[in-house]
A and B are shown apart, each in its own frame.
Chain A
């Protein structure tokens, strides 16, 4: 049990997918202008990432490894994740329309997100067990959400600040992201 907690903490804080590994940058900059969008995006990522982590683990263990075709990982993962997201979208629309309305456009947007892809590959590279893969996928997603929401909060404040012309908008956002990631470095060495 303790192991899983350590694993979760390291995924959320220490190896934060956004701020420590710098994966999934486009939605990080694109959907962090407004708190509302950031929250929606974070939820969608949790949802998709958990499903993708699980399914790619299964594909890897039961198909690729069995036939010794590990080099096809990236290709097959893309295919599987894309189909999965489409499937989930249809399923939600029919069965849980309320959830569908909430996650709205965010679902298709993260189909081929590098954070999703990255986590799936990490799971496989680290040779996690099924349960471990489940925990890491969930935790990485939570870490993504945490960073995104923190960042959106900061960006909303920045709107009120006096930013020198050449640094406005995306430039200042990147600088901010850098500082935010420095603060996450403080977690390094915790476990």
Chain B
């Protein structure tokens, strides 16, 4: 017995001694951070990160070969801790989450009956799948088999549904999916994604200049997940309350339902969820990526500037906005009148964006109160110019500056600033765009008795939103089409008394097939008025470029816009980007929002040292041919939910908001009208049910 104890003790002591000597002799210096980093990793040695175990992964992180978020099992917090140990930008420490872009490849027609192996990859090898849809989910669940964390299941509609709580973002599903349906992305990567040719895109989604995932948010509304819908919209558009009110919804013109029926009321649904959030009194939290330490100055607080600042902030950058006017918002604050977009609503929306931690300075005009030099001295890494288009065109006719004669934007912004502008009894507004309509509808509300629109062409050519024109007609505005003003006549005191115009008629069709209006000789007509507003368009005010040497290289186009690459929005000076009206000329709010995100993405590329360029297969201002149908079978006509609005008699007495919001019942009804389209497939089952 004693012997046994002694021998075991001897062997133990020998082993211990050898090991301690060895650890001295074979000592290798190891970065102490490796142990610290490893401590924050899961310790499961699962290999999900692609390295041989946790210590190997820790080494890779310390050597800078792997991001702090390398470990696929731990949460964001550990990644942030690791980033802190490494003292690096934890920008990449965001959680990766898998999501499915296909909402039901099962709805596309079958090409043939498949009886082979139960695997998407095998099925894909035969003619790319059994459905006519070339991009959709094959539904055999290779992703489910690949997921080690049990986070994917086939949902009720036959396509995979990811359980975000279980997904660790290891990327296994993305690797096995032959169709790129499952994509594992961080929030930043999702915010930076632009439509590409082989994405699963509904026609409406291809058309939206902000590229909102329309079918997804509509289906979320249908399922009662209103918060989800708000989040979906916010991944592309931070101004959902405003857009929900003023957007002329180009998406609806391409809605597949409209081929057989009225289009889905896409924008009303957006407004429905946006209003719901506002009226709940509680803001939904908006996540931002960890700070990157890069600083960007945004000049102009209109939709373009706000959108750019919002996306940059969510990507983790530090943003400061400089705005010339006393309030933020640009045209949607100072141009679009109260009865279309109440200032209270806009203020709530802008506050939500600034709450993300965006600094802003008002009453700061570039070229007057500060210059580019000062921004550079302050250490900004990139600059966004979203100065809009605020310079009204002149008619270039005699008498234009008599008393009682105004310019569109000038008039609207003075009214919106609360100034008491003297209103005439008989007022004429020249022009056919949104500003002209906003002027006439404002005039009616401020007490003008007779209000005219004088437009060179016919109603068909008016660029204003159709609903706006209809509303103006209801409110008793008189339209004078085919009229070309020649002079403004005044009395001895210099007050406007008449507008003289020439009548026109439509001439021969020109090369583009449009019939150009030509003047009728000797048809001069006098119109009695005491107030005149010209609203025939605007150009950007780029006078600040002449004030400093640094901006001499900033190229300006013939239309006074800042010259740019339309897809990256980079200007002729590499660190200056632009967007919105100052890049495109007068356009739409959504276009400015889409441009803001585009510029944010380019700035992000520029600041990360990547080449500033659009994605290879970018689908910019284009449609996928195969997705535009001539007919859709199985659609039963169902009327669109009526948008409630104030009675005409009521509304012209005040600046109260005219358009009202859908109630929940109508919104759900409307959301069910959506066919949940993708490229080729659409929801036949849904149609069958509603029949």
Contact = CB atoms under 8 A, between A and B. Distances in A.
Interface of A: 37, 40, 59, 63-64, 67, 69, 72, 75-76, 79-80, 82-83, 86-87, 90-91, 93-95, 104-106, 109, 159-162, 168
B28 A94 contact: yes
Nearest to A90: B26
Contacts of A168: 145
Contacts of A86: 19
A83 B15 CA distance: 6
B45 to A, nearest CB: 6
B639 interface: no
A53 B640 CA distance: 81
B53 A93 contact: no
A90 B19 CA distance: 9
B3 A104 contact: no
Interface in B4-28: 4, 7-8, 11-12, 15-16, 18-19, 22-23, 25-28
A79 B630 CA distance: 79
A162 B142 CA distance: 11
Contacts of A93: 26, 28
B28 A63 contact: no
B22 A63 contact: no
A160 B7 contact: no
Contact of B8 (A37, A72, A95, A160): A72
Nearest to A159: B145
A160 B18 contact: no
Contacts of A105: 45, 52-53, 55-56
B22 A90 contact: yes
A76 B11 contact: yes
B45 A79 contact: no
A91 B22 CA distance: 8
Nearest to B118: A162
A69 B55 CA distance: 39
A162 B3 contact: no
18 contacts: A67-B7, A69-B3, A69-B4, A72-B4, A72-B7, A75-B8, A76-B11, A79-B11, A82-B15, A83-B15, A90-B23, A91-B22, A93-B26, A95-B26, A106-B52, A161-B117, A161-B118, A162-B118
Contacts of B100: none
Given A83-B18, A104-B56, A105-B53, A76 B8 contact: yes
Contact of B122 (A79, A87, A160): A160
A70 to B, nearest CB: 11
B494 interface: no
Contacts of B122: 160
A162 B52 contact: no
Binding site secondary structure of chain A: helix
A87 B11 contact: no
Contacts of A95: 26
Binding site secondary structure of chain B: helix
B47 interface: yes
Contacts of A40: 52
B119 interface: yes
A160 B117 contact: yes
A160 B25 CA distance: 50
A79 B12 contact: yes
A63 B145 contact: no
Contacts of B16: 83
B121 interface: yes
B26 A94 contact: yes
B685 to A, nearest CB: 26
A35 B511 CA distance: 67
A82 B15 CA distance: 9
Interface size class of B (residues with CB under 8 A): 20 to 34
Nearest to A88: B22
Given A69-B3, A75-B8, A80-B11, 15 more contacts: A63-B11, A67-B7, A69-B4, A76-B11, A79-B11, A83-B15, A86-B19, A90-B19, A104-B53, A104-B56, A105-B52, A159-B145, A160-B122, A162-B117, A162-B118
A67 B5 CA distance: 12
Interface string B48-68: 000011011000000000000
Nearest to A102: B52
Nearest to A84: B15
Nearest to B148: A33
B19 A87 contact: yes
By Cβ-Cβ distance, the 7 closest A-B pairs, closest first, are A105-B53, A104-B52, A83-B15, A94-B26, A162-B118, A90-B26, A105-B52
B10 to A, nearest CB: 8
Contacts of B4: 69, 72
B70 to A, nearest CB: 15
Contacts of B27: 94
B543 to A, nearest CB: 63
A59 B11 contact: yes
A63 to B, nearest CB: 6
Contacts of B12: 79
Contacts of B8: 72, 75-76, 79
A31 to B, nearest CB: 10
B127 to A, nearest CB: 18
A120 to B, nearest CB: 14
A156 B123 CA distance: 17
A154 B27 CA distance: 42
Interface string B120-134: 011000000000000
Interface in B127-162: 145
Contacts of A76: 7-8, 11
Nearest to B51: A104
Most buried by B among A67, A76, A80, A109: A76
Interface in B574-621: none
A69 B2 CA distance: 11
A160 B119 contact: yes
A162 B114 CA distance: 13
A121 B45 CA distance: 29
A79 B145 contact: no
A67 B145 CA distance: 56
A40 B27 CA distance: 25
B242 to A, nearest CB: 51
A63 B7 contact: yes
Contacts of B26: 90-91, 93-95
Most buried by B among A59, A64, A105, A109: A105
Contacts of B53: 104-105
Contacts of A72: 4, 7-8
A108 B15 CA distance: 16
Contacts of B121: 160
Most buried by B among A63, A83, A95, A160: A83
Interface string B337-355: 0000000000000000000
